[in-house]
Structure 1
Amino acid sequence: MRTAVITLAAGRHRHLALQQAGLAAGSRTPDQYIVVAMNDAGLRSVLAERRPAATIVNCPVRDGALPLARARNLGAAHALEHGAELLVFLDVDCVPGERLLDRYAQVARDPAHRRSLLCGTVAYLPPPPPAGYRLTDLPTLAGPHPARPAPAPDETHQGTDHTLFWSLSFALNADTWHAVGGFSEEYEGYGGEDTDYGQRARAAGVPLAWVGGAPAFHQHHPVSSPPVGHLDDILRNAEIFHRRWNWWPMADWLDAFADRGLIRWNRSSTRWERTPPTKADATTRDPRLHRT
């Protein structure tokens, strides 16, 4: 199958370089390697003169919120226009295992899973040593994430819970992509668009298939838990999701924001909203009190 690997990037250049090296070291290299640049002019120098050769697709950013859904759709459209039969999406932080592309292609050809959303395992790596990660060491550094199924290397398990879908590593053939209809571009910024995609797949009658032997290794980077820096994106996207599917996604994050007093549940409007700042907050934030 003519295979395209699609990744989105806005920074994380070291992570992207190791992903490209992982693709080059695999038992199968992609026919297309498409990197969607979200206002990242420096990507070309990172990817140039390395294998596999990368095609950069530009995705402008409006209002500062990363358009993750639109960027994935642009990457898929480019791949399909150039003859891709199998789309493999990898997060920029994810390094593919040696047989990831082989296993995705093998399962995609299986009549039992031809119309499925294929999900490989993802292992979260510890911080790298000073010299950086070595590709050969990655399988020994961490096991698959415990919150997702992890079939044996030669097994594939049918999944029934579409809420477990995530976009770090997944694959599907061209017909399945068209059946689901791509990612909803109503979402912008961080959170919710991949949970929505799982529900779109469920509504389209597209099952999940958990693929053993197709590991990806998520490179370590600092995170904020809950992701307070993305609070406004999460609130907006959670409300879009609730309107579409009638339940609230990212519930742990919303509860954590509420516990910190950052948001509150409005009973009259039955929605989450930002907590109004107190007088103390306003005083603390008054720039006139911080002049030197």
Structure 2
Amino acid sequence: MHSPVSVVTIVKSRTEKLCRLIEQLESCNPLPDELVIVWMCSPSTLSLAKSEKFNIVHKFVANGALPIARARNRGLQEAKSNLLAYLNVDAIVDKNFIAKGLNAWCPGSVVFTKVTFVPESQWVLPHDTLCQIKSQELPDEDNNEIPSRQQEDDHGKFSDDSICSTVFFISKTDFKKTGGFDEGYDGFGLNDEDFFTNCRSLGFSLNQIELQTFAPERPNYRCPINHLLDFVRNAERYHAKWGVNPCINVLNAYAEAGYINEDFETAGIHVLQLPKREKTSSENEVSSQEHDTALIKQSA
């Protein structure tokens, strides 16, 4: 049985995860009405993938590459159903997530699931197995699970809003009201926070359902030093739009590390230094050779 839901995902190079996602959707009850895949780069061998259980619609870039926000907007805008379910391509979902999302959704709402990160070694396991593993683990203060939230307490909160987009339901009508994901954000960070802040500003309710979704662990997402400049630039855009700084936990981590000023909340964000890039093994080898050469010259 098919549901009146269009599932949308975007993909660049993680094609093995796309294959896993399609397999999961084929096991869902009910099935989606369609899967819309937006390719952020040139077509590959999977760009014409089909399913015997539902229609797969492929959207391609004409030239160049699609940024994340533009790719999401294209998929969500061009899906045919009024109820849209956006999924990250690497999400591991419950086979009943469509049914539960349908039951929980109402006009003027965004419905999302709990999300727990797991190591890549566990990501290959079935959803039911992951649930059993997590149920046997002792509670951990830093297990990356997104707890239930109160709307008034989570404005622009990085560790929550960036994860809401792993799996969320929204109507096409409501998505149009948001204007879509802001394509002015460039590079890493804060596009999700901006989108869900926009949803709240429009009076939409954000409702978490009691359903577990798993995703691969994201190294350094609490302090993404390799994306410092992108994050700071996007934080400035967010502040200009909403009048508050986003993701205070991340900005505080940057300040404590000395990358930005500690008084950023009152004086604005200023980059004080850039993180040192770790050398690759080949670069370390070259440095070692240069050091040895210098020692030979000195001894001579």
**Match for residue 194 of structure 1?**
192
Helix, strand or coil: the match of 2:29?
A: coil
**Match for residue 43 of structure 2?**
41
Contact 2:33 2:55 in 1 (8 A): no
Q: Residue 61 and residue 46 in structure 1: after superposition, are their counterparts in 2 closer, same or farther (change >3 A)?
A: closer
Deviation string 1:22-76 (CA, Å, 9 cap, x unpaired) is: 111111221121122222533x4277244555322235797x8x72222211111
Segment drifting more, 49-58 vs 238-247: 49-58
Which residue among 105, 108, 125 is the counterpart of 1:133? 125
Q: Residue 90 and residue 232 in structure 1: after superposition, are their counterparts in 2 closer, same or farther (change >3 A)?
A: same
Q: Residue 197 and residue 49 in structure 1: after superposition, are their counterparts in 2 closer, same or farther (change >3 A)?
A: closer
Mapped to 2, the partners of 1:252 and 1:34 lie a distance apart of: 35
Per-residue deviation at 1:125? 2.3
* Higher relative helix content: 2
Contact 1:120 1:210 in 2 (8 A): yes
Which residue among 15, 19, 22 is the counterpart of 1:20? 22
Structure 1 position 263 matched with structure 2 position 260: yes
Aligned length: 266
Structure 1: 5+ residue stretches without partners: 151-157
Structure 1 position 104 matched with structure 2 position 97: no
**Match for residue 229 of structure 1?**
226
Q: Residue 226 and residue 173 in structure 1: after superposition, are their counterparts in 2 closer, same or farther (change >3 A)?
A: same
Deviation string 1:218-258 (CA, Å, 9 cap, x unpaired) is: 13465565212221211111110000111111222222222
**Match for residue 69 of structure 1?**
69
Helix, strand or coil: the match of 2:186?
A: coil
Contact 1:123 1:142 in 2 (8 A): no
Q: Residue 71 and residue 162 in structure 1: after superposition, are their counterparts in 2 closer, same or farther (change >3 A)?
A: farther
Q: Residue 136 and residue 40 in structure 1: after superposition, are their counterparts in 2 closer, same or farther (change >3 A)?
A: farther
**Match for residue 210 of structure 2?**
212
Per-residue deviation at 1:86? 0.6
Per-residue deviation at 1:273? 2.4
Mapped to 2, the partners of 1:169 and 1:277 lie a distance apart of: 34
Q: Residue 40 and residue 138 in structure 1: after superposition, are their counterparts in 2 closer, same or farther (change >3 A)?
A: farther
Segment drifting more, 91-100 vs 265-274: 265-274
Helix, strand or coil: the match of 1:175?
A: helix
Structure 1 position 119 matched with structure 2 position 112: yes
User: When the two structures are superposed, what TM-score results if normalisation uses the length of structure 1?
Assistant: 0.77
| Greater gyration radius | 2
| AA aligned opposite 1:142 | K
**Match for residue 296 of structure 2?**
none
**Match for residue 138 of structure 2?**
none
Q: Residue 221 and residue 50 in structure 1: after superposition, are their counterparts in 2 closer, same or farther (change >3 A)?
A: farther
Question: RMSD between aligned alpha carbons?
Answer: 3.4
Per-residue deviation at 1:265? 5.1
**Match for residue 294 of structure 2?**
none
Mapped to 1, the partners of 2:27 and 2:226 lie a distance apart of: 36
Contact 1:160 1:207 in 2 (8 A): no
**Match for residue 168 of structure 1?**
166
User: When the two structures are superposed, what TM-score results if normalisation uses the length of structure 2?
Assistant: 0.75
Per-residue deviation at 1:139? 2.4
